[in-house]
Amino acid sequence: MTAAELGHAGGHLLAKEVFRADHQSLVAIRAFVEKWTAKVDLDEEKTFRIKLAVTEACANAIEHPKDKSDITLWAWSKEARFTIDVWHGGEFHVKSGQSRTHRGMGLPLMVASADEVTFACLPEGGTRVSLSVFL
């Protein structure tokens, strides 16, 4: 078990893929999500929502860490939910209201798009964002 998988709620692992931490990878990341939402027969609206949430999580992993590392995605199914885990080696920091500029809507967008969002700062380092929609 890798550090990023530590403490995950489990379920049936559908796929795991590693992406470079750059904006050009977002196209491939969205394709990964779309492929696995089709495998679990997720409807169009929920597919759009989980794709949007994952894109935001990955964009944050690309833009914000001091030290760049690859981004790993896991697709899971468990009972009546579909989950994408996003892991990167950076540390998770929430900006306060005063330090936000015109940007900074990624976290609220993730929360609004997914049915469940969890963040884990892992003991071995890095951050895992789990984004789920109910089937």
pTM > 0.75? yes
User: In the chain, where are the structural domains located?
Assistant: 12-134
pLDDT-based confidence at 31, cuts 50/70/90?
very high
Confidence at residue 3, expressed as pLDDT on a 0 to 100 scale = 47
pLDDT-based confidence at 27, cuts 50/70/90?
very high
What angle, 0 to 180 degrees and rounded to 10, lies between the N-to-C axes of helices 44-63 and 25-39? Answer: 150
For the chain, give the percent of residues with pLDDT over 90: 60
Q: State the Cα–Cα distance between residues 33 and 55, nearest whole angstrom.
A: 9
Q: What is the arithmetic mean of pLDDT over 30-36? A: 98
Task: List, as one string, the DSSP characters of 33-59.
Answer: HHHHHHHTT--HHHHHHHHHHHHHHHH
pLDDT, tens digit (0-9, with 9 covering 90-100), for 84-129:
999 988 776 555 555 555 556 778 899 999 999 998 888 877 889 9
Q: What is the mean pLDDT of the chain?
A: 86
3-state secondary structure (DSSP) of residue 92: coil
CATH classification code of 12-134: 3.30.565.10
Confidence at residue 101, expressed as pLDDT on a 0 to 100 scale = 59
Q: Is the pLDDT of residue 4 over 70?
A: no
Q: State the Cα–Cα distance between residues 65 and 118, nearest whole angstrom.
A: 19
More confident of the two residues 89 and 134: 134
- Residues contacting 99, CB < 8 A, separation 6+: none
Q: Is the pLDDT of residue 10 over 60?
A: yes
